[in-house]
Structure 1
Amino acid sequence: MIVYKHRDWDNAYREVRNMVGYLGLPEGAAVLDVGCGMGRHALALHELGFKVTGMDLSEQLLAEARVRDAEGRVRWERGDMRSLPFADGQFDGTVNFFTSFGYFEDEADNRAVIKELRRVLKQGGRFLIDFLNPVYVQANLVPHSERTDEDTGWIIREDRRIEAGAVIKDIRIILPDGAERVYTERVRLYQLDWFERELAAAGLQLERVYGDYDGSDYDSRESKRLIMTGGVTA
Structure 2
Amino acid sequence: MSKNNNNFYKSWFDTPYYHILYKNRDYKEAEMFTKELMEFIKLPLNSKVLDLACGMGRHSINLNKMGYNVTGVDLSVKSIKNASKYESENLKFKIHDMRKPLGQKFDLVVNLFTSFGYFDDFKDNLKTLDSIKSSLKKNGLAVIDFLNIKYLKNNLIHKNTEEIDGIKFHLNRSIKNGFLTKKISFKHELNEYNFEEKVRSLDLYDFKSMFKQSNIKILHIFGDYKLTSFDENKSKRLIFILK
* TM-score normalised over the length of structure 2: 0.88
What is the rounded CA distance, in whole Å, between the counterparts of 2:171 and 2:34 in structure 1?
27
Change in Cα spacing, 1:144 to 1:103, as seen in structure 2 (3 Å) is same
**Which sections of structure 2, spanning at least 5 residues, go unmatched?**
1-18
User: 106, 118, 123: which is aligned to 1:108?
Assistant: 123
What is the rounded CA distance, in whole Å, between the counterparts of 2:69 and 2:241 in structure 1?
19
What is the rounded CA distance, in whole Å, between the counterparts of 1:109 and 1:70 in structure 2?
29
**Partner residue, 1:58:** 76
Task: Give the Å deviation of 1:186.
Answer: 0.9
Task: Give the Å deviation of 1:72.
Answer: 6.1
- What are the Cα deviations for residues 89-146 of structure 1, in whole angstroms up to 9, with x where unaligned? x111100110000101211011110111000111100010000001011111111121
Task: Give the Å deviation of 1:39.
Answer: 0.6
User: 127, 137, 140: which is aligned to 2:155?
Assistant: 140
The answer to whether the aligner puts 1:29 opposite 2:47 as a matched pair is: yes
**Partner residue, 1:83:** 100
How many corresponding residue pairs?
225
Task: Give the Å deviation of 1:70.
Answer: 5.6
Q: 2:114 aligns to what SS in structure 1?
A: coil
What is the rounded CA distance, in whole Å, between the counterparts of 2:128 and 2:118 in structure 1?
10
Task: Give the Å deviation of 1:79.
Answer: 0.8
What is the rounded CA distance, in whole Å, between the counterparts of 1:139 and 1:85 in structure 2?
38
User: 52, 58, 66: which is aligned to 1:48?
Assistant: 66
**Partner residue, 1:196:** 208
2:146/2:238 contact within 8 Å kept: yes
What is the rounded CA distance, in whole Å, between the counterparts of 1:23 and 1:230 in structure 2?
11
What is the rounded CA distance, in whole Å, between the counterparts of 2:87 and 2:209 in structure 1?
41
Q: 1:99 aligns to what SS in structure 2?
A: coil
What is the rounded CA distance, in whole Å, between the counterparts of 1:49 and 1:86 in structure 2?
23
What is the rounded CA distance, in whole Å, between the counterparts of 1:113 and 1:33 in structure 2?
13
What is the rounded CA distance, in whole Å, between the counterparts of 1:53 and 1:25 in structure 2?
16
User: 158, 173, 185: which is aligned to 2:171?
Assistant: 158
* Aligned AA (1:28): N
What is the rounded CA distance, in whole Å, between the counterparts of 1:32 and 1:79 in structure 2?
12
What is the rounded CA distance, in whole Å, between the counterparts of 1:20 and 1:127 in structure 2?
12
- What are the Cα deviations for residues 160-203 of structure 1, in whole angstroms up to 9, with x where unaligned? 0111111101112332x342322111110111122122223322
1:23/1:128 contact within 8 Å kept: no
**Partner residue, 2:13:** none
Identity %, equivalent residues: 33
What is the rounded CA distance, in whole Å, between the counterparts of 1:113 and 1:194 in structure 2?
15
The answer to whether the aligner puts 1:227 opposite 2:239 as a matched pair is: yes
Task: Give the Å deviation of 1:86.
Answer: 2.4
What is the rounded CA distance, in whole Å, between the counterparts of 2:190 and 2:48 in structure 1?
46
Change in Cα spacing, 1:85 to 1:70, as seen in structure 2 (3 Å) is closer
**Partner residue, 2:108:** 93
* Aligned AA (1:171): I
* TM-score normalised over the length of structure 1: 0.91
* Aligned AA (2:197): E
Change in Cα spacing, 1:84 to 1:158, as seen in structure 2 (3 Å) is farther
* Aligned AA (1:126): L
What is the rounded CA distance, in whole Å, between the counterparts of 2:211 and 2:175 in structure 1?
25
